[in-house]
């Protein structure tokens, strides 16, 4: 069927639903098994609903369902990818179809990086009025059926909830039932999807007129009260932030103030001035909804996209509270879910462009220190997948080393860790440098809910012990310790810890000899693994009753 399979290639694709009839008649179907997310939402610290401002990203690109609709990937050159997951809290996939089911590749990539994904339920123009009249004015049974289907869809495809966007006027009967519908939908999503969310877009008012308020006020408050949050329109001024903060009270983090990166209409700042809007929003302790950050790709072009993307998110980083990893094992090859080649064990196995966000790895922080350090993605060389992480910087005169913070961690440290690092030094004198890992810790029982960037200094700093060969129990898994090839160096380490919590994982680049000159370095990271030795020694669970379906031989 054309909804589930591309008519040209027969490959499985992601899809949307149009109109009330398609929504109400939706049933799970064996053809759409491909669309069910295979990656559970990874845990994070602090939890999503902690008392701190959040960041929502709303992805809206040329109508949606572009190359990202191909569930098993495509040979797309220079595709759009998003990878600054550590800096955001919620990802919304937006399109103008009635029911936007997020393409499963986005849900997989976001979940792997601890970010929940919302679909969009939208009605607009005169068709929207008719649709709303049919299900809202019809009373509890009619709007209950829509709420039930939306909750079932999120549960079946394993994404995390809905942005609800009613962009048309409503009759008195319809608007009277709207808060009841939102309350019902929110309750059903919460019960069907662990950690599920329903967010309302600032559009219709309590009297049924369509009038964007650019704030939370008494005209739209009853919708905010009926769900998990409000996403405001984009044309706000500072006094509206002040009023919103006052009215929201203890729920100020549930107001996501809209920032249109394309800067349409009368806005404080978009593009590379988005930071002006964000700074103001954070002054009032409010959350932010960054709309269409694909501006970087659409407006500045595909050619230098990765460079421009790092510049864009780097400019906002000061106002984006990050979240930490809180479970082991942590293992990543830094792959973006795209490439110009496919690498395996450092070897270019298959030249040619590819794009598959489901293959995106856990992403690190992307620290930038003006002039001394930049962290970026390198597509020209990788250990595994499509890209490696490139660290470029200088070691200042008289100093011996530079530390690059890759991951913030927040979890009790196991008694013994194994770590594995694969790297490649580039440049004129690679032998002048050494590369190693550093782990920082806190005393046990210290728990912080704030922004990890403003946490107190760690009180333990460890350089794990280098292991010339992996211990026998790990020999098979860490065969790579012997295996650096194609110019890659592999290092295994162990670290024994007592009564403390992990805080940061950093890479240290050091000079072999002290020098009065500054020294530049370029280092590619191919893979990092952090393993709890106790759980690695245990034998993996046996898999039973494997079945294969939907086979298509070409």
- pLDDT, mean of residues 4-10: 92
Does 454 lie in the same domain as 372?
yes
The domain boundary residue, chosen from 323, 340, 365:
323
Token output for 239: 């006094």
Does 273 lie in the same domain as 377?
no
The two beta strands, 287-291 and 324-325, are unpaired
Does 230 lie in the same domain as 367?
no
Binned at pLDDT 50, 70 and 90, residue 372 comes out as confident
Does 186 lie in the same domain as 124?
yes
Does 454 lie in the same domain as 422?
yes
Rounded to 5 degrees, φ, ψ at 549 are -140, 175
Structural domain contains residue 39: no
Structural domain contains residue 552: no
Does 64 lie in the same domain as 185?
yes
Q: What residues pair up with 64 in beta bridges, in sequence order?
A: none
Does 174 lie in the same domain as 57?
yes
Residue 268, classed as helix, strand or coil, is coil
Does 491 lie in the same domain as 362?
yes
Structural domain contains residue 10: no
- pLDDT, mean of residues 173-183: 98
pLDDT at residue 447 in the model:
46
Rounded to 5 degrees, φ, ψ at 161 are 140, -160
Provide the sign of the torsion angle of the four alpha carbons 389, 395, 396, 399, taken in this order. Answer: positive
* Distance of alpha carbon 221 from alpha carbon 223, whole angstroms: 5
Helices and strands (H, E) in the chain, number of each type: 11, 24
The CATH number covering residue 353 comes to: 2.60.120.260
Number of domains in the chain: 2
Does 148 lie in the same domain as 279?
yes
* Distance of alpha carbon 307 from alpha carbon 77, whole angstroms: 16
**pLDDT, tens digit, for every residue of 80-122?**
999 999 999 999 999 999 999 999 999 999 999 999 999 999 9
The domain boundary residue, chosen from 307, 323, 339:
323
**pLDDT, tens digit, for every residue of 510-538?**
998 888 888 999 999 999 999 998 887 67
Does 476 lie in the same domain as 510?
yes
DSSP 246-258: HHHGGGGGGEEEE
DSSP state of 384: S
Segments forming the whole domain that contains residue 203: 16-26+49-323
Mean pLDDT over the full length of the chain:
93
Does 343 lie in the same domain as 282?
no
Does 293 lie in the same domain as 233?
yes
Structural domain contains residue 42: no
- pLDDT, mean of residues 194-199: 97
The CATH number covering residue 168 comes to: 3.20.20.80
Beta-carbon contacts of residue 526 (< 8 Å; ≥ 6 apart): 333, 334, 346, 382, 383, 384, 388, 422, 423, 424, 488
* Cis-peptide into 329, omega within 30 deg: yes
Structural domain contains residue 259: yes
pLDDT at residue 456 in the model:
58
* Among candidate residues 282, 291, 284, the one with its CA nearest the CA of residue 320: 282
The domain boundary residue, chosen from 279, 300, 323:
323
pLDDT at residue 449 in the model:
44
């Amino acid at each position: 069927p054309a909804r589930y399979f591309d008519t040209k290639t027969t490959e499985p694709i992601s899809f949307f639903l149009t109109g009330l009839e398609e929504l109400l008649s939706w049933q799970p179907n064996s053809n759409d098994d491909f669309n069910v997310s295979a990656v559970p939402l990874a845990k994070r610290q602090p939890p999503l609903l902690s008392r701190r401002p959040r960041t929502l990203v709303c992805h809206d690109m040329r109508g949606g369902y572009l190359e990202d609709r191909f569930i098993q990937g495509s040979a797309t050159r220079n595709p759009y990818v998003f990878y600054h997951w550590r800096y955001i809290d919620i990802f919304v996939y937006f399109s103008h179809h009635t029911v936007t089911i997020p393409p499963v590749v986005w849900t997989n990539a976001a979940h792997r990086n601890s970010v929940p994904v919302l679909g969009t339920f939208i009605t607009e123009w005169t068709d929207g009025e008719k649709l709303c009249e049919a299900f809202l004015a019809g009373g509890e049974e009619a709007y209950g059926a829509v709420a039930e289907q939306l909750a079932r869809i999120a549960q079946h495809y394993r994404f995390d909830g809905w942005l609800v966007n009613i962009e048309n006027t409503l009759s008195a009967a319809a608007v009277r039932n709207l808060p009841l519908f939102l309350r019902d939908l929110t309750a059903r999503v919460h019960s069907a999807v662990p950690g599920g969310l329903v967010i309302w877009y600032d559009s219709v008012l309590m009297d049924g007129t369509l009038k964007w308020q650019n704030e939370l006020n008494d005209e739209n408050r009853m919708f905010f009260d009926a769900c998990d949050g409000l996403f405001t329109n984009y044309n706000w001024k500072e006094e509206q932030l002040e009023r919103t903060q006052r009215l929201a009270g203890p729920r100020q983090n549930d107001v996501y103030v809209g920032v249109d990166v394309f800067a349409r209409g009368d806005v404080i700042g978009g593009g590379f001035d988005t930071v002006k809007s964000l700074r103001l929003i954070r002054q009032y302790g409010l959350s932010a909804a960054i709309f269409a950050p694909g501006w970087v790709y659409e407006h500045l072009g595909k050619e230098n996209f990765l460079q421009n993307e790092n510049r864009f998110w780097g400019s906002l980083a000061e106002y984006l509270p990050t979240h930490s990893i809180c479970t082991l094992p942590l293992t990543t090859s830094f792959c973006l879910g795209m490439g110009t080649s496919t690498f395996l064990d450092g070897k270019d196995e298959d030249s040619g462009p590819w794009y598959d966000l489901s293959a995106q790895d856990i992403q690190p922080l992307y620290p930038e220190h003006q002039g001394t350090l930049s962290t970026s993605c390198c597509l020209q060389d990788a250990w595994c997948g499509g890209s490696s992480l490139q660290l470029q910087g200088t070691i200042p005169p008289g100093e011996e080393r530079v530390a690059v913070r890759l991951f913030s961690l927040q979890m009790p440290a196991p008694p013994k860790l194994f770590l594995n690092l694969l790297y490649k030094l580039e440049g004129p004198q690679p032998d002048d440098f050494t590369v190693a890992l550093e782990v920082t810790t806190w005393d046990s029982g210290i728990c912080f809910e704030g922004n990890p960037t403003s946490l107190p200094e760690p009180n333990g700093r460890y350089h794990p012990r280098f292991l010339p060969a992996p211990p026998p129990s790990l020999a098979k898994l860490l065969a790579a310790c012997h295996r650096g090839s194609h110019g890659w160096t592999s290092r295994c380490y162990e670290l024994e810890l007592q009564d403390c919590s992990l805080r940061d994982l950093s890479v240290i680049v050091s000079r072999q000899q002290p020098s009065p000159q500054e020294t530049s370095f370029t280092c590619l990271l191919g893979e990092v693994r952090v393993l709890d030795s106790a759980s690695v020694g245990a034998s993996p669970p046996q898999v039973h009753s494997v079945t294969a379906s939907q086979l298509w031989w070409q």
